A and B are shown apart, each in its own frame.
Chain A
Amino acid sequence: MFFNSLDFALFLPIVFICYWFLTAKNLKLQNCLLIVSSYVFYGWWDYRFLLLILFSTIVDYSVGIFLNRQSNTRNRKLLLWTSIFVNLGLLGFFKYCNFFIHNFVKAFSFFGVELEESTLAIILPVGISFYTFQTLSYTIDVYRKKLKPTTDFIAFTAFVSFFPQLVAGPIERATNLLPQFYQNRKFNYSNAVDGLRQILWGLFKKMVIADGCAEYANLIFNNASDYSGSTLILGALFFTFQIYGDFSGYSDIAIGTSRLFGFNLMQNFAFPYFSRDIAEFWRRWHISLSTWFRDYVYIPLGGSRGSVKIKIRNIFIIFIVSGFWHGANWTFIAWGALNAIYFLPLLLLKHNRKNMDIVAKGSYFPSLKAALQIVFTFSLTVVAWVFFRAENISRAWSYLTNMFSHNIVSIPDVIPWPTVFVLLFFIGIEWLGRDNQYALEKFAFKASRIIRWMFYLLLVILIFLSNGKEQAFIYFQF
């Protein structure tokens, strides 16, 4: 079920009413309702994959229980590796199996040994990369004794399958989300209204910005050889906003929906395109994944401590693994490696923690220096997104070479003015709301309610006008 579908528009109020009116007095019943709703939500795509979630849930729940009973380090490690093996095994099989077969055959053919390639007909279960990482965080935290293992199977199942963030995050830590399933939730008016506002903003980002940009990004990327350099730049810009609108829009809807049910999820995007350097960008982009990799991969590898060689190695590992997490294609690995190259100078010069606060805090305009830094960082990310979007490395490379080689200073062949104006409107709102969790959180709060509602209704109308066919969220494929 997509968040931007009519099915969800019916599903959400039904679950909301049942949750607060039928099951509010019994926590267990409320959690059970969340499980049923989550399984319905997920099963809407393909009910067969519910077994995978259930399997992953049972394995990690059992590993947690056994970890608590074991004091022997060797046995504890064995249990941890069991969970890692099962979760990453599922992910590896469904997501990377064909990629490895294909590249294995290619590698052999490079050395003159011709093998017959036979890939498997595997469908990638929606959201597998997200929920496997979420359950893994539970087992690792229990192993590290940061978290007490739960004995409440219903709460744990609800935690793994919680529908707002099941298929595309935020990848919640068990330490944050799981305890919320133990506590009685009380309805809070301002939280719920805030949730609805965030859902509205998320839908606007997805349906107006991302889908609007997608139309032209696809057109330009699919016919890249026909267009001038300036048009290709425009195409890359459209994709840059498409991916942001798409993914951060999903996160906003997920966080907003959770608020309606009395849950608080972590912020996943903090206005990344206003970053002044790449390190800041990565602190603001897909925060739940970046911090996951930081805590469970980067720091165990030694982080930024040790020799320069170790630092470089760790940075490349973390970015390449992060890229590979997005998809089984060399383009994602190249995207990760390119970001590592962007990041390294900052780390080596110890400038990576220079810009911790939001840009131009408390003022309407940034300084010239900050503005130039933003433009420079943004340009770097636009170039990197070309690898992310392209079908393969050679296409990405030819896109970039064409982008910088012919007619770079010319009027683009395609200028969809309505989309450009909506994009400028969006950037303006995001800039004004950059101090908050999401742009609309306190937007126009000083204005009267009528003005505020008129603004919200304008968003509703723009969403309505952008509604064509339901477009799947890009991050579902990851």
Chain B
Amino acid sequence: MKKFLFTTLVFSCLGVFCITFLYIGINWATDKTASFESVGSPTYIVLGHSHPACAFNDSLIDNFKNFSESGESYFYTYIKIKKLLEQRPSIQTVFVEFDNYQIKNHMNDWIWTDEHLAYRMSRYSPFMDINESNLIMAKNPKGFLTYSSLSTKKNLFNLFYGYHNYSYKIGGYEQIDRILNDSLINTQLNDSTITNEIDSLSWYSIDYLDKILQFCNSMKKNVFLIRCPMHPESNGIKNESTFQNLLSERFTNTEFLDFYKYPVPNNGYGDLEHLNYYGACNFSIWFDELLKSDILSQQNKQMRIDIQIQNLDRN
């Protein structure tokens, strides 16, 4: 029995060593060869989840690239921004979506549940540092092991076939053609999956937002928190007071540009939280003009934005 246990243990250790070596080796090679460059040299980029992904049609905004992606938490945005700023020196200004949804407790799920790991591990595991890997391993060890293999396989194929360009895999403008109607409004208002928790916050997410801001500052980039337009009936703003408290207490050093009240008619929404193609085009053209008016270098930015929004409302 002793011999059996010893042999099994030795073989298991060798197996674990080989797998770990393979995982680290492939991640290292991917990290070294991955390119985040693409056509154009944008000065402005926007990051976040589906709200900015659907709101900023970057083909209508000069020198602007949308790198937001649906379902992305700050955890993965942090990994992404490190590579982007490292490889694309043209980027000078970073907009990071900060809205009422992104502070809620369920954002933790966006970091480590199987559903999200299945998709994001293969994209981001080569660029994670030990802290990120440890967090996932601690929170979902089974998921980490399962999706490590999937990501190793995918990255091995990417290396083999020479698919090194990541800039097409990490986000972009997402077009919604659907138009918000009454039945969709009712469905979403009655949707129990949209949680209304007020006090329960995702501190992991908030910490990673902090890291994003710190990293951008360390790279001497201008960084702004923004909030995309949302429908006035959206469930999303039920935690507004918590949101505002957090903003004023924790992110005082970063400017917040709020477009929440940007007037969009119902036919400009795909649902209560997302702009559709029509809404995104209108908003993007307006945003382009806003950037061209040099708003970012002016004082009282939010006041100016509010005035412009009020003018739009009147029109």
Cβ of B195 under 8 Å from chain A: no
* A residues in contact with B114, CB < 8 Å: 469
Measured in the bound complex, the distance between the Cα atoms of B297 and A218 in whole Å is 56
Count contacts on A: residues with CB < 8 A to the other chain: 20
Could you mark each residue 184-197 of chain A with 1 if its beta carbon is under 8 Å from any beta carbon of chain B, else 0? 00010100110010
Residue of A nearest to B8 (CB): A196
Give min CB distance, B38 to chain A, whole Å.
28
The A contact surface, by secondary structure, is helix
Q: Is the CB of A460 within 8 A of B3?
A: no
**A120 within 8 A of partner (CB):** no
Give Cα A189–Cα B118 distance, bound, in whole angstroms. Answer: 40
| Interface mask (B1-31 → A, CB under 8 Å = 1, otherwise 0) | 1011001100100110011001000000000
Q: Does A457 contact B (CB under 8 A)?
A: yes
B1-A465 in contact (CB<8A): no
Cβ–Cβ contact B8 & A464, under 8 A:
no
How far, in Å, is A414 (CB) from chain B's closest CB?
Answer: 16
B2: nearest residue on chain A (CB-CB)? A189
A468 neighbours in B (Cβ, 8 Å): 146, 149-150, 153
A421 to chain B, nearest CB (A): 12
Contact digits for A439-464, partner B, Cβ 8 Å, 1 yes 0 no: 00000000000000100110011001
Contacts A461-B22, A464-B152: A469 and B4 contacting too (C-beta < 8 A)?
no
Complex contact B18–A465 (CB within 8 A): no
Q: Are B22 and A466 in contact (CB under 8 A)?
A: no
Cβ-defined contact, B14 with A467, below 8 A:
no
Distance (Å) between the CB of B71 and the closest chain A CB? 18
State in angstroms the CA–CA spacing of A418 and B157 once bound together: 10
With CB as the reference atom, state the residue of chain A lying closest to B18. A457
A20 is an interface residue with CB less than 8 A from chain B: yes
Q: Which residues of A contact B156 (CB under 8 A)?
A: 465
A6 CB within 8 Å of chain B = yes
Which residues of B lie under 8 Å from residue A418 when comparing CB positions? 157
Cα(A453)–Cα(B14), bound, Å: 9
Asked if B142 contacts A461 (CB within 8 A), the reply is no
Contact yes or no, A466 B153, CB < 8 A: yes
Complex-state Cα separation, A469 to B150, whole angstroms: 9
Nearest CB in chain B: distance from A210 CB, A: 16
Q: When the two chains form their complex, are residues B1 and A460 in contact, meaning their CB atoms are under 8 A apart?
A: no
Please name the residue on chain A nearest to B10 by beta carbon.
A453
**Residues from chain A with Cβ under 8 Å of B18 in the complex:** 457, 460-461
Contact present for A187 and B146 (CB under 8 Å): no
Among A237-281, those with CB < 8 Å from B are none
Report the bound CA distance from A469 to B7 in whole Å: 29
Residue pair B118, A457 in contact (C-beta under 8 Å): no
Q: Does B145 contact A (CB under 8 A)?
A: yes
Q: Which residue of A lies closest to B153 (CB)?
A: A465
Contact call B15/A467, Cβ cutoff below 8 A: no
Closest B residue by C-beta to A418: B157
Measured between alpha carbons, how far is A187 from B19 in the docked complex, in Å? Answer: 30
- CB nearest neighbor in B for A456: B11
Instruction: Given A192-B4, A196-B8, check contact A469 B118 (CB 8 Å).
Output: yes
* Chain B stretch 107-164: residues in CB contact (< 8 A) with chain A: 114, 118, 142, 145-146, 149-150, 152-153, 156-157
Distance in angstroms between the alpha carbons of A466 and B154 in the assembled complex: 10
Interface membership of chain A positions 314-348, coded 1 if the CB is closer than 8 angstroms to chain B and 0 otherwise: 00000000000000000000000000000000000
User: Inside 8 A of B145's CB, which chain A residues have their CB?
Assistant: 6
Residues of A within 8 A of B7 (CB): 193
Bound CA span A196–B190, Å: 54
* A461 touching B118, Cβ below 8 Å: no
Q: Could you tell me the distance between the alpha carbons of A249 and B152 in the complex, rounded to whole angstroms?
A: 24
> Nearest CB to that of A457 among chain B residues?
B18
Asked whether A457 lies within 8 Å of B15 as measured between CB atoms, the reply is: yes
- Among residues 205 to 226 in chain B, which have CB atoms less than 8 Å away from a CB atom of chain A? none
Q: How far is the CA of A461 from the CA of B15 in the complex (A)?
A: 8
The answer to whether A189 and B14 touch across the interface, beta carbons within 8 angstroms, is no
- How distant is the Cα of A465 from the Cα of B145 in the complex, in angstroms? 11
Q: Which residues of B contact A464 (CB under 8 A)?
A: 19, 22, 149, 152
Given A193-B4, A460-B18, residue A466 in contact with residue B11 (CB < 8 A)? no
Q: Is the CB of A460 within 8 A of B142?
A: no
Chain A's nearest CB lies how many Å from the CB of B17? 9
Q: Which residues of chain B are near A187, meaning CB under 8 Å?
A: 1, 4
Contact A460 B146 (CB under 8 A): no
Chain A residue contacts of B8, Cβ below 8 A: 196
CB distance from B94 to the nearest CB of A (A): 34
With the chains together, A193 CA to B3 CA distance in Å?
10
Question: Is the Cβ of A453 less than 8 Å from the Cβ of B11?
Answer: yes
CA distance A192 to B149 in the complex (A): 28
Chain B residues contacting A460 (CB-CB under 8 Å) are: 15, 18-19
Q: Report how far A196 CA is from B157 CA in the complex, Å.
A: 30
**How far apart are A12's CB and chain B's nearest CB, in angstroms?**
11
Bound complex: CA A453 to CA B157 (Å): 26
Q: A469 to chain B: which residues have CB within 8 Å?
A: 114, 118, 146
Compute how far the CA of A457 lies from the CA of B145 in the bound complex, rounded to whole angstroms. 18
Contacts of A466 in B (CB 8 A): 149, 153
CB pair A467–B4 under 8 Å, yes or no, is no
Nearest-CB residue, chain A, relative to B3 = A189
- A465 and B3 contacting across the interface, CB-CB below 8 Å: no
Of chain B, the residue at the smallest CB distance from A468 is B150
- Closest-by-CB residue of A relative to B156 is A465
Find out whether the CB atom of A467 lies under 8 angstroms from the CB atom of B146.
yes
Q: In this complex, which of B1, B118, B152, B157 has the most chain A Cβ atoms within 10 angstroms of its Cβ?
A: B1
> How near does chain B come to A345, taking the closest CB pair, in angstroms?
46
A193→B150 CA distance, assembly (Å): 29
Tell me the residues in window 186-229 of chain A with beta carbons closer than 8 Å to chain B beta carbons.
Answer: 187, 189, 192-193, 196
* A1-42 near B? 1/0 per residue, CB < 8 Å: 000001000000000000010000000000000000000000
Nearest CB of B to A197, in Å: 10
Given the complex, which residues of A lie within 8 Å of B153, measured CB to CB?
Answer: 465-466, 468
A470-B118 Cα distance, complex, nearest whole Å: 12
- Contact flag A467-B1 (CB < 8 Å), given A196-B8, A453-B11: no
User: In the complex the two chains form, what is the Cα distance from A363 to B14 in whole Å?
Assistant: 35
Known: A193-B7, A457-B14, A461-B18. 5 other contacts (CB 8 A): A187-B1, A418-B157, A453-B11, A465-B152, A467-B150
Interface positions of B (Cβ within 8 A of A): 1, 3-4, 7-8, 11, 14-15, 18-19, 22, 114, 118, 142, 145-146, 149-150, 152-153, 156-157
Which 3 pairs, one residue from A and one from B, show the smallest C-beta to C-beta distance? A467-B149, A465-B153, A460-B15
In the assembled complex, 22 residue pairs joining A and B whose CB atoms fall closer than 8 Å, in A order, are A6-B142, A6-B146, A187-B4, A189-B1, A189-B4, A193-B4, A196-B8, A418-B157, A453-B11, A457-B14, A457-B15, A460-B15, A460-B19, A461-B22, A464-B19, A464-B152, A465-B152, A465-B153, A465-B156, A467-B150, A468-B146, A469-B114
